Amino acid sequence: MVDEFAAKGFPLQGQSIRNHLMKAWHGHLKALLSEANWKESKSIPSEEDYMSFAEVTAGLEAGITQTRYFLGSELSEEAVSSREYSNLLKHVSVITRLLNDLASDEREIAEGKLHSVSLRAIHGAITTEEAVKEIRKLIDSHRRELLKMVLQTKGSVVPKACKDLIWKANKVVGFVYNMDTDGYSHMAEMIDAVNAVIFEPVIMPPSNKKDKFSA
């Protein structure tokens, strides 16, 4: 898969993108291994340790890395290696992981799984309800910072098309994980919503303007 995307991306970027794709997927697989080792050991990590791999296993970084090279414009090494780009990915990845944890909170607790909500409750000596409120505030904070960076133009090295991709990814995540449930465990509703967007006609409100061709 990496070689296929690299071959398609080369003529669009004028340079090999294979190393970037390999790095993204290597990081994703490494994070999955860390997550598996943590679950196997049945230890309780700190929130920071948990997020160090959990935000990566959310999958946004690998997906965006593959997509960013097919937006119709060249993406410089300076842009993808910048702190600005790294922070953009950081914000959207954290948002994704936290929304996922909130949406699957009760189900995963019943299965004996630990995540950001339960870890915050454990380490902060607070109730699950209080932890949920704090996580929601954290999501809002990351969203504000992400929007600020997306709208920033002065001193920015990341192309607008790439920023828009990341912001749209954030909006899709907000749709899939809407803080009450997640689309993956309610697949029928998700399919209905997608079909509605693609196949159902858009009904425009009647215009009050007179037809310019009418007498």
Alpha-carbon span 143 to 208, nearest angstrom: 38
Average pLDDT estimate for 130-147: 95
Q: What is the pLDDT of residue 192?
A: 64
Element (H, E) at 12: helix 2-13
Q: Tell which CATH architecture fits domain 2-199.
A: Orthogonal Bundle (1.10)
| pLDDT band, residue 206 (cuts 50/70/90) | low
Close Cβ partners of 67 (under 8 Å, ≥ 6 residues apart):
165
187 pLDDT exceeds 70?
no
Q: What is the pLDDT of residue 190?
A: 58
What is the DSSP annotation of 172-199? HHHHHB-SS-BTTTSHHHHHHHHHHHHH
Question: Residue 104 phi/psi, 5° resolution?
Answer: -105, 15
**C-alpha 208: how far from its chain's center?**
41
Average pLDDT estimate for 35-54: 87
Question: Is the model more confident about 137 or about 36?
Answer: 137
Element (H, E) at 28: helix 18-41
Q: What is the pLDDT of residue 215?
A: 42
Q: What is the pLDDT of residue 5?
A: 77
| pLDDT band, residue 38 (cuts 50/70/90) | confident
| Beta carbons of 61 and 93 less than 8 angstroms apart | yes
Determine what percent of the chain is predicted with pLDDT higher than 90: 33
Of residues 90, 58, 93, the one with CA closest to residue 184: 58
Strand pairing partners for 182?
A: 177
The CB-side HSE value for 12 (13 A sphere, CA atoms) comes to 16
Q: Kindly tell me the sign of the dihedral angle through the C-alpha atoms of 199, 204, 210, 212.
A: negative
Encode pLDDT of 97-124 as tens digits: 999 888 876 676 666 677 899 899 999 9
| pLDDT band, residue 160 (cuts 50/70/90) | very high
Q: What is the pLDDT of residue 189?
A: 63
Radius of gyration of the chain, Cα coordinates, nearest whole angstrom: 21
Average pLDDT estimate for 85-103: 93
Residue holding tokens 């993204």? 24
